[in-house]
Amino acid sequence: MSVLVNKNSKVIVQGFTGSEGTFHASQMIEYGTNVVGGVTPGKGGQKHLDRPVFETVSDAVKLTGADVSIIFVPPAFAADAIMEAAEAGIKVIVCITEGIPVKDMVTAREYIRGKGCTLIGPNCPGVITADECKVGIMPGFVFKKGPVGIVSKSGTLTYEAADQVVKAGLGITTAIGIGGDPIIGTTTLEAVQLFANDPDTKAIVMIGEIGGDLEIRAARWIKENCKKPVVGFIAGETAPKGRTMGHAGAIVSGADESAAAKKAVMRECGIHVVESPATIGAKVKEVLG
């Protein structure tokens, strides 16, 4: 089992022929991902990386049966790309693009509501189901198959957590990098719920950061509904108040958005909170017995 993507997923790349799309699509293909084509307006009918290039997402879906899309489109056009994918019937949309205007994302998120799709990102590393399917920019060699699901706001900490878990003798079902922008598609809670319902995921690693209340909402749901052990970490302990750190959403505007406040709530809700990402693997091994 896996969540969101697996070896049968048919993936297209929006912004296929650009430098970012080309590089990461090549890496995804090398990992074994079933990339069935890509979309670059004005280049429909061409071949790229030995795959067909389509003029529109709709054309790609009709001719390849694509159900997953990854977006490498400049910020000014990325929200339109998200909406185009949803309109064409793509079920899982992964948007890597950083710097999309907030008002554009508000429009896009509202537009895709009710379209039956899941948006991951923007400004995220993507999704990987270990040894099956990589839809993103993460280093695939770090991820080995096993019983642990990862949800993270931070790309770098996603890789670090996976590495720690694998070195502890375990492995990953799926890792979801949800992104750190103020407006994102899939929340921490929604990702945790996917793992809670996946029979092959025996433990969950939840990595958050200062700002917002995504981790608090997830923690309260976990306390009431999740029987699986959850290991948590919050980044940004030393960040100055009122300053954005790295991610556009990582800014503390209230007392309950600090790292200390989030960790306190998480502990109250039964989450095994670690103080350093370096101890994630050991803690997961401990809670799984």
Those residues with Cβ within 8 angstroms of residue 89's Cβ, 6 or more apart along the chain or in another chain: 61, 67
Listed residue (248, 81, 80) closest to 179, CA to CA: 248
CB 132 within 8 A of CB 187: no
Catalytic pick among 24, 48, 247, 272: 247
Those residues with Cβ within 8 angstroms of residue 193's Cβ, 6 or more apart along the chain or in another chain: 221
CB 1 within 8 A of CB 199: yes
Q: How many of the other CB atoms lie within 10 Å of CB of 2?
A: 23
Alpha-carbon torsion (242, 247, 3, 174), positive or negative = negative
| Residue 215 token pair | 């981790």
| Residue 202 token pair | 């025996």
Active site residue 272: no
Long-range pairs of 158-161 with CB within 8 A, sequence gap ≥ 24: 158/125, 158/207, 159/125, 160/277, 160/278, 160/280, 161/205, 161/207, 161/233, 161/277, 161/280, 161/281
Alpha-carbon span 191 to 22, nearest angstrom: 28
> In Å, how far are 134, 136, 158, 172, 203 from 145, measured between CA atoms?
13, 17, 15, 5, 13
Alpha-carbon span 148 to 111, nearest angstrom: 33
Alpha-carbon span 8 to 23, nearest angstrom: 22
Q: Which residues are catalytic?
A: 247
